[in-house]
Amino acid sequence: MPFNHLAAVVALVEPLARRFADAGHRLYLVGGIVRDQWLDHDLSDSSDVDLTTDAEPAIIKDLVSDLADALWTQGERFGTIGLRFHGRAIEITTHRAESYTSDSRKPVVSFGDDISVDLSRRDFTVNAMAIEVPGGDLVDPWSGATDLEAQLLRTPLEPEISFSDDPLRMLRAARFASRFDLEPSDELTAAAVDLCERLRIVAIERIGDELERLFELPDPERGLRFLVETGLANELLTWKQTAASPIEPAQLHAAVDRTVRVSDHRWQIRLATFLAAAVDLTDELEARLDQLRLSRDDHRLIMHVVTSARSIDPGERNAPALRRWFAAAKHPAASVAVAVALADPHDAENVAAFGAAVTDLDAAENLANPELLDGETIMSLLDIGAGPTIGEAVAVLRQAFFDKGPLPLATQTTLVKKWWADRGTDE
């Protein structure tokens, strides 16, 4: 496949490339930018520009310091120097071989001077290609370009070695299979089956980030099937849950079916659908979210959506029931989308009708913000000061709204006065 956009990429890094060449070092574009060039993607503002070199970190710093607009060295001990160059963030990393010990979450790094060895330690062959700059020659010792054309996902080394070095690559395999429509090789799949429990040594934050990136893809189905078929999905759902039993593959495949048909494609809503379909009890779902250590906002969103989706009774489409459900739902549209996806096919139409009825009623009555007497008006009306009584009065008005819909302010005034009078009589 021709590199239609390669000239722009080479031109971007040419000043750096010539600086390294003049100092007797070689420089290569590497990783995703090479893969994307082969797939004929142009160089966008969001494209990662990664380079690798036989120069060690101290030399890299010395060579680029006067060319860079800014320099950062947080990754220096791992061989990476970051810089801002012509308005773009670039990372330059010394050729390296890194691996994980059997019980460590952190890589052991050694530097080298052989591009082939460096590429061999990359996750997949499609990411193990390099382009030497400034010349633009492709370096592809592991046939990544051939695999891209064949739509095949393989690892440069034996997959058992690759996944042992960094078990997160098993989750990355799911994402790359979906993102680029690649079929995992039989060897790669078998290795993931054998090594799925090794995922436990990986920091949960890295796992959560990888899952987010999978669920936000336009079509995550192939990757999710890979997680189910290899046991990785069960590992994620029962990990550190000592009382949890493995989930049947059939139930997990059904969870995938529901996830890919949910109409709201936000990653949180897709994850909510998958978890709700795979795990029956709300407490168990909460435990799975806790172990993933999602942000508080994402955690709450998922729990609210699932709880509201499960609370839908499609047969209760009278206005009072719809108003009460809407008030409790917090995210009504997303909750309906999840409920439709979770419903059996013969029930989904009724759930969708429930959602349509909510939408129509909201348009007619502004369910999210009904016009009710405010606190100051109530204080003036009852001649009282601030305090919990105001909240009680508002609650009375809200219950009246749930039962009867929007009420004129005069009617609300009468209702509050009667409530206050009755309250005084009760006391």
Q: Determine, yes or no, domain membership for 254.
A: no
| Chain centroid to CA 106 | 23
The pLDDT of residue 427 is: 43
Q: pLDDT-based confidence at 65, cuts 50/70/90?
A: very high
Instruction: List Cβ neighbours of 175 (8 Å cut-off, separation of 6 or more).
Output: 210, 213, 214, 217, 223
Both 4 and 144 in one domain: the answer is: yes
Q: Is the pLDDT of residue 426 over 50?
A: no
Lowest-pLDDT choice from 101-105, 178-182, 192-196, 327-331? 101-105
Query: Closest Cα partner for 13 from 46, 48, 56?
Result: 48
Do 70 and 84 fall into the same domain? yes
Phi and psi at residue 72, in whole multiples of 5°? Answer: -135, 145
Q: What is the pLDDT of residues 378-403, one digit of tens each?
A: 999 999 999 999 999 999 999 999 99
Task: Tell me the pLDDT tens digit for each residue of 347-377.
Answer: 999 999 999 999 999 999 999 999 999 999 9
45 and 29 fall within a common domain: yes
Q: What is the mean pLDDT of the chain?
A: 91
Are 399 and 338 found together in one domain? no
Q: Do 35 and 68 have their domain in common?
A: yes
CA separation for the pair 341, 335 (Å, rounded)? 10
Residues 307 and 422 in one domain: no
The string of DSSP codes covering 19-39 is: HHHHTT--EEEETHHHHHHHT
Q: Are residues 216 and 290 in the same domain?
A: no
The reported pLDDT for the residue numbered 111 is 85
Of the residues 246, 279, 309, the one at which a domain ends: 246
Any domain includes 251? no
pLDDT band at 7 (very low <50, low <70, confident <90, very high): confident
Query: Does residue 132 fall inside a structural domain?
Result: yes
Average pLDDT of the residues in 74-100:
87
**For the whole model, what pTM was predicted?**
0.87
- Give the tens place of pLDDT for each residue, 324-339: 999 999 999 999 999 9
Does residue 101 have a pLDDT over 70? no
* CATH (domain of 159): 1.10.110.30
- The reported pLDDT for the residue numbered 6 is 79
Question: 403 lies in which domain range?
Answer: 375-426
Average pLDDT rounded to a whole number, residues 266-290: 88
Instruction: Identify the pLDDT of residue 276.
Output: 93
Cβ atoms of 98 and 109 within 8 Å: the answer is yes
Residue 207 has pLDDT above 60, yes or no: yes
Domain end point (choices 149, 184, 219): 149
Which pLDDT does position 174 carry in this prediction? 98
> Is the confidence at residue 298, as pLDDT, over 60?
yes
What pLDDT shows up at residue 239? 66
In a domain, 192, yes or no: yes
User: Is 81 part of any domain?
Assistant: yes
Domain CATH for 20: 3.30.460.10
Shared-domain flag, residues 134 and 5: yes
Number of domains the chain contains: 4
Q: Which region among 147-161, 257-271, 287-301 has the lowest average model confidence (pLDDT)?
A: 287-301
pLDDT digits (tens, 9 = 90+) for 15-37: 999 999 999 999 999 999 899 88
Give me the percent of the chain exceeding a pLDDT of 90.
Answer: 75
Same domain, 339 and 415: no
Q: What angle do CA 244, 248, 249 make, to 5 degrees?
A: 130
pLDDT band for 106, please (50, 70, 90 cuts). low
Cβ burial, residue 382 (10 Å; 0-12/13-18/19+): middle
Q: Nearest to residue 90, comparing CAs of 153, 151, 133, 121?
A: 133
Beta bridge partners, 58, equal none
Nearest to 235 by CA among 192, 268, 271: 192
User: Cα–Cα–Cα angle for 372, 377, 379, nearest 5°?
Assistant: 120
Asked if the structure places residue 253 within a domain, the reply is no
Q: Is the dihedral of CA 213, 216, 218, 220 positive or negative?
A: positive
- Per the domain annotation, does 221 fall within a domain? yes
Q: In this structure, are 135 and 44 located in the same domain? A: yes
Is residue 381 domain-shared with residue 364, that is, in the same domain? no
Report whether pLDDT(131) > 60.
Answer: yes
State the average pLDDT over residues 121-128.
95
pLDDT at 351: 96
> How many helical (H) and strand (E) elements, i.e. helices and strands, does the chain have?
21, 11
Q: Tokens at residue 69, please?
A: 């607009």
Domain membership flag for residue 252: no
Please indicate, yes or no, whether residues 88 and 157 belong to a single structural domain of this protein.
no
Conformational region of residue 89, where left means phi above 0, alpha means psi within -120 to 50, and beta covers everything else: beta
Domain finish residue from 111, 129, 149: 149
From residue 202, give the alpha-carbon distance in Å to each of 25, 165, 197, 212, 313.
35, 11, 10, 16, 41
pLDDT cut 70: percent of the chain above it: 93
For 252-276, give the DSSP string: HHHHHHHHHH-S---HHHHHHHHHH
Among residues 276, 162, 170, the alpha carbon closest in space to that of 230 is found at: 170
